[in-house]
Structure 1
Amino acid sequence: MSANVVPLPARRAERAPSLEPMLALTADGMNAVNAVILDRMHSRIPLIPALAGHLIAGGGKRLRPMLTLAGAALCGYEGTRHHKLAAAVEFIHTATLLHDDVVDGSELRRGKAAANLVFGNPATVLVGDFLFTRSFELMVEDGSLKVLRILSNASSVISEGEVDQLTAQRQIETSEERYLSIIGAKTAALFAAATRIAAVVAERPEAEERALDDYGRNLGIAFQLVDDAMDYSSAADEMGKGQGDDFREGKMTLPVILAYARGSDEERTFWRDAIAGHRSEPADLARAIELVNGHDTVAATRARAEHFAMRAVDAIAGFPAGAARSAMEEAARFAVARRS
């Protein structure tokens, strides 16, 4: 999946890209989505809404459900079916975060203590399962087999991607191609599905479905590339998670893959020891940051993110110009410009 980097042209010189156009476009719809989320988080078991609410109420951009709403606006849809489906998308995403935090032993999520530390691993896994079931209830209520197929397939692909990432963990020889395949599954699949179902709900042609799928998929890859770059370039309070988590967990992300490929024999020895779990002290993280900066691999990772963001913008070029397309284009620019 490697490709020549195509610079993403700046939309406006006077300000940095922002999610504000997307937020404005989807504000009313997100109010309805949030109402569905609050309603479907309810359970007679108090621990369930308490734990789910710990993460859901903890912030986050809610970009995935916003993509469903923005895609519907782009397709000219004026109904309300997409509100429940956007909530289903957010439940899938939240469930995967809860499970990820248990697998990774995370301490921070969205700037606060991860749910697994507050409530324990068993409860966190089970509430993640509860949210998955809620998402499928919402899909079934919608009644579209096509929507159900798209979102259920995305859920399956996400799980495969997470398992693939787990098996690649601490494997220093992980290639860039495998890395891109992993993030295409664990992150981009839900971005693609969230956007594609908007065209299904709007009963648009297959070509428009594919265009929105391409937009979401490329945006998701760009988004994850930047997330992985920030693990070596942003402070914990900016990211909402611990800096260097990927390093300590032995994850082969693109900044490391490139630094290993470009490094000297001595540097490669460091990376082999670090990824194997033998170099995980603060001084080792500082050395890792020094190496990725010395070989410009954070910048290279962001440059690849720009390429995929440009592909996302190109994917929706055939839709009518207007507020929806403009907001989605700027969301792609924001994905690669963000620092938190």
Structure 2
Amino acid sequence: MTSVDNDSFPQPADRTEPAPADPAIGWFTALSGILRSGAVFILLALLVIGFTAAQPAFININNLMSILQAVSVVAILGAGVTVTLAVGGFDLSIGAVAASSVMAASYAMIVWRLDAYATVPLVLAFGAAIGLINAFIIVRLRVPDLLATLSMMFLLSGLQLIPTAGRSISSGLILPDGSKAAGSYDPHFMLIGRYNLFGTVPVSVVLMILVALVLFVLTERTRIGRLLFATGGNEVATRLAGASTTRLKTLAYVISGTLASLGGIVIAARVGRGDVSSGGSLLMDAVAASLIGFAVLGLRRPNVLGTIAGAVFVGVLLNGLTMLNAPYYTQDFVKGAVLVGALALTYGLGRNGER
């Protein structure tokens, strides 16, 4: 009987038990994840609590609706910017489109004497047309998006002043030819900016919510939405996969232009005149809201709900500072400091977690 040499068989490898995880590291990772994904919401909750403690009237339902009404236009415009960011573009003309839409709506009713049911589609078509022109310049002429939309911004800023020789539009406007405009704002049009549903919810807030829901479904729950983000991530790969990046970019800029015009309609219906200075700060506020959206839920990409949250965040901050009688010259500094903190929590903690 032959003996078997155990050395001729493979021996099982030595198994070393993994070191137990450090509970402190686990807690830190979990806390970092919570802060990273919810930094904006955490800061928003702290702001609401702090402002309410300092000024109880802040939490009043009428004040909260006032905040939402104030940020509705910025949120609508920011949603349009978000769609262009999704395709890897950027629309600098939204503020000018909104301001031109204010003037166009006013001119249509006061000079052309159109009613609300003709004015609203006309102005929305104007915004969509500007979006088409932007898309043509960017996609067909291959002009960089920043340069194309910056040029459009300057063009519209000057164009809106020509029909009235630089004057604001209101009832009784004297036209450049010396005639007097006989039209006036349609009361039905004014409801868009001034009417409250159920006596509490402004129509502009309802429009903001509808825009957010429609764009959320489009960008997050449909094939078109996935292709929009794919275009922004890798345009060549998206084209090779069979998608028309030309059509996708065109769609994004048309949506942006249309939403900018919708924002202009809300402004015109709220102020009741075509003010040549309207829309001056809309561009930066809308861009800020859309970029803050990157930090919401730690997504680090354009997203519509994040943009809406960013607009509300800024609105709550400014409203609270105003109620506390903070000097106007400190508000931008405080806003910037708080936003830097929110973004630092989102990106800084995420970076540490990846190392």
TM-score normalised to the size of structure 2? Answer: 0.26
Greater RCO structure (CA 8 Å; 6+ sep): 2
Q: Which of 1 and 2 has greater Rg?
A: 2
